[in-house]
Every structure is written in structure tokens, then in C-alpha cells.
Amino acid sequence: MSTESTQSQACCNTPAVVSKGYQQKGEYIEVQGMKTYATGPKDAKRGILIIYDIFGFFPQTIQGADILAHTDKDHPYQVFIPDFFDGKPADISWYPPDNDEKGAKLGEFFKTAAAPPKTLERIPKVIDELKKSKSVEDWGIVGFCWGGKIVNLSSFEGTLFKVAAAAHPAMVAGDDAKGIVIPYAMLPSMDEDKSEVEKWQKNIKTPNIVEWFPDQVHGWMAARGDLEQDKVKKEYERGYKLVLDFFHKHM
């Protein structure tokens, strides 16, 4: 276990990150009745399920999926992002919740559309359907913000996944690590609770990394990443390299 800086070992650089006007490489398909972004070589044997943040499909998240799928020709992935919010994500203007109205709207969203059990029960059905129609044999899972909590809860005994990663995970709880049974990478931002992350790392027993991005905001690898800022763009790229390296090693 390490919180020290980890240099990426991916054999290839990530494709040039586009700050605005990103053109997706994949397509939208339907899985379990959900609009699902699908990208990557269709004959790839490894797959990644992405659990987006509460803001749903955003160019930064789509671009990240394409990076994971296409960066390394020797380790391609088929990557899928189901729309677990069924076309009704949270409004990004609610964040940060710096007044009562925004806080109330976010709170209600977390109680209803983003209630973890609602998503957790759909994940096995998604994987089952994809197994029937795709060539994927082994699966990894990546989550952002709220999706990080879903990833943690999807990594317990009986998991369908070989490896997991969570970037700027929401609702980190130290005790959540005790049930994890697969290799796990966590990339916290400046906004995560340091004490809970430290407890989490002490409790996890599987191979893992915790790589802090102390000058990045919660959401920099997904919807809240301002890729027009050079530093954010650089750390966005480094984050995806770290995830790829970890997945290459453990999957």
C-alpha cells in the first residue's frame, strides 16, 4: 500500500486530450433498457464498466472512456457507460451546494435516483447482457464521485470484477474497505476526507494504491474537470494513465 506518487508505466501516451468540442470514438447502444456509451475494439477480451458521476454523460467522462479503451493497442478494452439515471442526471449547476436550494436538490437526488441499492441491483443484469453479446471475458470497474461509492460496494465477495478504481470517490468510509476482495486503486482529490481515506487504506487487504491529487477539485477526471486549464488537463491525463497501469497489472 502506498500514498506516494506513482509514475505511469503505460507503454503508450494517452491520446491528445481535447479541452472542448471532443468528438467521441464510440457509439450509444441499449443495455437493459438503458442508453449506454460503448467504445473500444469489439474483439477486445477485457471490459471496463464505468459508473459515471451524478451529472451523467459529460464530454470529459466520454473522453476518459475512449482513453481507457484505445490508448494501448496491446491492452485494448471494451468500455461501457450505462445511463443509470435514465436520462435524468443531476444538474451540474447544483454543485457545489453552496446554498439551501442547491443542497436540498442534491439531497433529494441522492435519496432517489442516486440511491446506491437502485444501481447495485442493475449492475449484474448489465454484465450478464453484455456477456451474451460481447467478446469480453474479464471485467474491471471504474467509478467517479458517486460512482466511486458504487464501485466500492461492487468489490465485495461475489464480485463480477477482477479489478476496480475510483477517482475522487464520494462518501468514503474507512470500514468500506474491509469487504473488498479485488485489487483497488483510489485517486482522491483535495476535497476528500483525508482521515476516512487513511482509515480506508489501513483496512483494505488486497493490492492497492491511493494516489492523492491534492491540487485538483472533486470531479476533475469527470464532469467537473476544466480541461482548458493546463494543470487540470495534465492531471486528468495522469489520472487515466494510473488507472490504465493498475488495470494492466491486475487484469
Q: What is the 3-state secondary structure (H, E, C) of 162-190?
A: CEEEEECCCCCCHHHHHHCCCCEEEECEC
Helix (H/G/I), strand (E/B), else coil: 133: helix
Right CATH for 27-250 from 3.40.50.1820, 3.20.20.70, 3.40.50.300, 1.10.3710.10:
3.40.50.1820
The burial class, CB within 10 Å (0-12 / 13-18 / 19+), for 191 is middle
pTM of the model as a whole: 0.92
- Cβ neighbour number for residue 120 with a 10 Å cutoff: 14
What's the grid cell of residue 114?
A: 442516486
Task: Write down the pLDDT at residue 91.
Answer: 92
Task: Write down the pLDDT at residue 14.
Answer: 56
State the Cα–Cα distance between residues 125 and 129, nearest whole angstrom: 6
Task: Write down the pLDDT at residue 10.
Answer: 42
Whole-angstrom CA distances from 187 to 133, 151, 162, 165, 213 are 32, 13, 18, 8, 7
Low-confidence ranges of the chain (pLDDT < 50): 1-12
User: Can you give the residue ranges of every domain in the chain?
Assistant: 27-250
- Cβ neighbour number for residue 105 with a 10 Å cutoff: 16
Task: Write down the pLDDT at residue 3.
Answer: 32
pLDDT per residue as tens digits for the range 55-95: 999 999 999 999 999 998 889 999 999 999 999 999 989 98
